[in-house]
Structure 1
């Protein structure tokens, strides 16, 4: 199908002879089609062939805001309200109906943050929740206890194993282990902030032993105090629960507001920390060093038994 030059030179000037509404609509839709990935493009072209050009079914593919309730694609994916989560943009995913739309949004990203929570960690542990956050602050909490292996088969495994999506993490050793042994997922292409901070500190302070820093410490270092303090306060509340050895709290459904806040924060804070650290680690040496140590983090527990907290990281 071809277009005349008058279509490409269309102006909003009302004094100019107007093009038909149909031609304007077709031009707009085709421009948008050029930005779509293959799967959505194929669906949209099928709609055009069937005479559905410009209908809500077609234009839904162009709206990428998962919070947009006018988009039919978002019917089953609803943001948690303030009664269930203190933060905006957090979505609880516990049904197969929600997975296709959720993964279609995630797949448009280049950098995501990732974490998981388990009833028990280790080779015989049990994953209860997987958290993924986007750069725009949207957070998806995948209820693995409810969905089981289906959530990995539907797309989460591909995302976690992919070289396309950079996964920002903090100390991914146990996460990598439990994913591999319990769900046959080989976590890949990560940016581990624990390692990255250690390298940055070593560059600044010289050849001194660098210990492993916890996420709470990095939150204090890299996030403005007014925001970091709120995150740390929630961490302390949950720490009191964990002190009693109550990891069974992750089995509770519905999960309490405090635990949802805690889970969401674990991935929300990773993006600003990454944005603070990554620009300072761009030399060829830095990149080689990080690749080597990220790989070591991913394989640390997979095939051996090691102490979780070695004295020094580098």
Structure 2
């Protein structure tokens, strides 16, 4: 995602890079969550957040993010707390999703798979493909911002819009391996936080323009995207990824 429109990031050079023995309060500092202890505290924070508007805004980073690549980081912005959290999937692996909250016994996987907890993504398909293929996470309750933008257009809905990710793209001289460097470089931390920090503003803008009929279409198409990403022959690369859902261009 382009970071040009996001400012006032409250992360500095003294931000902790490890979350060993972190309390929930310490998580407010924006440190990298890379232990089961910190993950358990984060699940406590995520569980039970308000659902209207959505509280959870998510994006993933990785090397060739898909079933054919890896997941390095998952960043999640919690709107009521106005705080982004960076989860180190490169280090935690499966513990990211299986570590239980000490309060409720729920896991991050439970939250991601709950149909009653809305999660906002921008084009969920590759993220869902990677989560399902590597960790058997079946996303539910997804609201896809890319589809919300498409639904609110006053011009043709033939193709979807993307968000620029030029900063680390190999075709532009970048290298996605940077997301696996530890300690995580400060500029990468800032990029990841900014990536999700802007999503609530986009959601509020597009949601305010949606009719009830289009809100239902977005909900259904978001669910269809998740289901498609879990099929054996899903391909997250190619021109087909830019096409609007079937029938949308005629509406």
The 8 Å contact of residues 124 and 182 in structure 1, kept in 2 or not, is answered as no
| 1:210 corresponding residue in structure 2 | 158
Stretches (4+) displaced over 4 A: none
CA contact (8 A) 1:177 1:299 kept: no
Residue in structure 1 matching 2:37, options 97, 100, 120: 97
Is the 2:23–2:38 Cα contact (8 Å) retained in structure 1? no
Q: Is the 8 A contact 1:157 1:185 kept in 2?
A: yes
1:164 aligned to which of 106, 116, 138: 116
Identify the match of residue 149 of structure 1 among 94, 113, 121: 94
When the two structures are aligned, how many residues end up with a matched partner? 209
Give the structure 1 partner of residue 202 of structure 2. 273
Bigger Rg, which one? 1
In the other structure, the counterpart of 1:127 is 71
Q: 1:273 deviation in Å?
A: 0.4
CA separation of 1:178/1:192 partners in 2, compared to 1, >3 Å: closer, same or farther?
same
Alpha-carbon shift at residue 245 of structure 1 (Å) = 5.6
What is the deviation of 1:250? 1.5
Look up the match of 2:219.
291
Superposition deviation, residue 121 in structure 1: 1.9
Moved more, 285-294 or 125-134: 285-294
Question: Deviation digits for residues 1-22 of structure 1, max 9, x if unmatched?
Answer: xxxxxxxxxxxxxxxxxxxxxx
CA contact (8 A) 2:24 2:45 kept: no
Deviation of 1:295 after TM superposition, in Å, equals 1.7
For residues 25 and 219 of structure 2, the distance between their equivalents in structure 1, rounded to whole angstroms, comes to: 40
Specify the SS of the correspondent of 1:215. Answer: coil
Q: Distance in 2 between matches of 1:288 and 1:178?
A: 26
Query: What is the distance in 2 between the residues matched to 1:91 and 1:278?
Result: 31
User: Is 1:117 aligned to 2:61, yes or no?
Assistant: yes
CA distance in 1, matches of 2:193, 2:226: 23
1:175 aligned to which of 127, 130, 141: 127
Higher relative CO (CA 8 A, sep ≥ 6), structure 1 or 2? Answer: 2
Say whether the 8 Å CA contact 1:194–1:213 is kept in structure 2.
yes
Change in CA separation of 1:240 and 1:189 when aligned onto 2, cut-off 3 Å? closer
Contact 2:169–2:175 (CA under 8 A) maintained in structure 1 = no
Residue ranges of structure 2 left out of the alignment (5+ in a row) = 1-21, 100-106
If each structure's helix is expressed as a fraction of its own residues, which one has the higher value? 1
The residue number in structure 2 matching 1:312 is 243
Aligned to 1:196: 148
Q: 2:94 & 2:135 partners in 1: Cα distance?
A: 7
Structure 2 match to 1:77? 27
CA change 1:312–1:129 in 2 (3 A) is same
